[in-house]
Structure 1
Amino acid sequence: MMVIIMKADCSTDIGPVRASNQDTCECGLFSPNSAWGIVCDGMGGANGGNVASAVAVEKIREIIISEFNENMSKENIRAMMLNAVNRANDAVHQLSLEKEELFGMGTTVVLMIATKGLLHVVHVGDSRAYLRNEEGFCQLTMDHSYVQDLVNLGQITQMEARVHPKRNIITKVLGVHEEVQGDYCQVNFSPGDIAIACSDGLSNYMEDDLIAEYIDRYRSNGSLLARQLIQYAAGNGGADNITVAVIRND
């Protein structure tokens, strides 16, 4: 009997305010021991945002599924993930040049791959990845945003950034320019650990300690955890699309 160690779940919701959902997410298992998840938050008008996030997810999924194998070194996994994001950038950017109504569209991205006791993450923009383990709860990614730059410079606090009038300005995005450089990190991912990726429709409306509390409450069911996080954000003034991907190392 095959024992499934990794589990992957994801969910997206239009939210209570928006007329369309510009977020896209997908997740799955390469094998019982290896999982992946992708979250993209599109921008560039209703049509542009929808297309950008969908094209990016499709291209990234295509590449990682065709190229990943469990014998890859950590360095090769990193290179594959960064290449997948670059190829997605090419696809979105090229389409934006071919169709006038899509010009300028772009998307954030968080790509997670969990395998061999490690979680690999590549991101562009202000969608985030978090890790819950026995040591606590932490944000793995740093937003590519105007307000995060102000925080880094010591000009505002993280709490001030949450309500800053320019908090939606993103400083790096996939698809708008010919090239983009994603940020990469890797962390230990041990049995019992849980990682989530989310669009800012969650992180803007839910404090970190409450996200951690929900993870602990619903940790045995990743699909329910994703839905409960979305439900909370939607009911807490959520004015955006809300998307969550969950990878659990059982």
Structure 2
Amino acid sequence: MIAVGKVNIGMRRSKNEDSVFVSNESVGPLPNLYIVADGMGGHKAGAIASKLAIDAFCDYIEGHKSNSLGSEENLILLLKRGILHANYVIYNKGLENPDYTGMGTTITLCTVIDGNAYIAHVGDTRLYCMNSNQIKQVTVDHSLVQEMLEQGMITQNDAQEHPQRHVITRAVGTYEQVKVDTLKQSLNGVEYMLLCSDGLTSMMSEETIHKLIYASYSDIEGTIDHLIEKANEAGGVDNIAVIIVKKGEVNTTC
């Protein structure tokens, strides 16, 4: 596994509220860990929420270092409980300080074990899998536009430009309880995983992202730089967080 993560403030925002975490080494009982978080809230609260989410999650995982994962069910439960712990930490931080009341963050994270990605997710930060033939969004956005799509109220083309496309329906830390989506994704035939905030996906189509990742750049860092550059050229209306994880062996189907 090779992974690189970067955050860029974009062209329109005065501060950065996105955070990333990249570890190809063990974190607690997990052999690797990749996280993107996109914070929200007044003052500096969004930046605090996204960083707190990552720190609290990693602290929780490190606190279970001696635990044996044992089974896929235990692994998924550990990821879920880590996010629930982060929700508790952020929510209570908001209660302690009026400047932070109502702050929250999206979070999308995964760990890769035995050719499978184990994913936990809240909000509209995304995880994609791809090879040279195709790109596939693995996570489902927790957003107003996604709900409208599922109800047939708008088309996929409408969703890309919808004025309420940034309205999310779930976040970590905004309420005392949060529902966490968890899933397992086979990486058979997958060459890259992309974790990113909507600062990237709202600025370009999936087809464009796929094309840029498979353009001829010398390394993953150069690829990420080019994705960020193109997102900023398209308007850069939000902070941009990107992690690219490159797998080893690849098949021809996704």
Instruction: Tell me if both proteins adopt one fold, taking TM over 0.5 as the criterion.
Output: yes
TM-score with structure 1 setting the length: 0.91
The alignment status of 1:40 with 2:37, answered yes or no, reads yes
Q: Paired residue for 1:24, among 19, 24, 28?
A: 19
Name the count of aligned residue pairs. Answer: 244
1:2-151 to structure 2, matched below 5 A, reads 6-30=1-25, 34-67=31-64, 72-133=70-131, 136-151=134-149
With the length of structure 2 as denominator, give the TM-score of the two structures.
0.90
Aligned residues of 2:42 and 2:99 also touching (Cα < 8 A)? no
CA distance in 1, matches of 2:128, 2:214: 13
Judge conservation of contact 2:69–2:75 (CA < 8 Å) in 1.
Answer: no
Q: Distance in 1 between matches of 2:200 and 2:178?
A: 25
Cα offset for 1:215?
2.0
CA RMSD of aligned residues (A): 2.0
Shift of 1:15: 0.7
Deviation at 1:134, TM superposition (A): 6.1
Compared CA separation, residues 105 and 196, structure 1 to 2 (3 A): same
Q: Measured at CA, do residues 65 and 229 of structure 1 come closer, stay the same or move farther in structure 2, by a change above 3 Å?
A: farther
CA, structure 1 residues 74+134, in 2 after alignment: closer, same or farther (shift >3 Å)? farther
Cα deviation, residue 137, structure 1: 1.1
Please say if residues 30 and 65 of structure 1, whose CA atoms lie closer than 8 Å, have aligned partners that are also in contact.
no
1:217 aligned counterpart, secondary structure: coil
Once the two structures are TM-superposed, the CA of residue 157 in structure 1 deviates from its matched residue by 0.6
- For residues 70 and 138 of structure 1, do their structure 2 counterparts lie closer, same or farther at Cα, with a shift above 3 Å needed? farther
Equivalent AA in structure 1 for residue 56 of structure 2: K
Q: Are residues 222 and 75 of structure 1, via their aligned partners in 2, closer, same or farther at CA, if it must alter by over 3 Å?
A: farther
Distance 1:119 1:161 in 2: 27
Residue range with higher mean Cα deviation, 105-114 or 190-199: 190-199
Seen in structure 2, the aligned counterparts of structure 1 residues 135 and 65 have a Cα distance that, compared at 3 Å, is: farther
Q: CA deviation at 1:115?
A: 1.5
Counterpart secondary structure, 1:45: coil
Give the % identical residues: 33
- Higher mean C-alpha deviation, range 218-227 or range 186-195: 218-227
Match for 2:222 among 221, 224, 230?
A: 224
Q: Deviations over 1:15-60 (max 9, x none)?
A: 11110000011111235x9432111100012411011001001111
Distance in 1 separating the partners of 2:186 and 2:68: 16
- Give the C-alpha shift of residue 95 in structure 1: 0.1
Aligned position for 1:3: none
Q: Structure 2 CA distance, aligned partners of 1:99 and 1:218?
A: 48
Mapping of residues 170-189 of structure 1, within 5 Å: 170-189=168-187
Describe the superposition over 1:223-245 as per-residue Cα deviations: whole angstroms up to 9, x where unpaired: 22222211111111111000001
SS at match of 1:173: coil
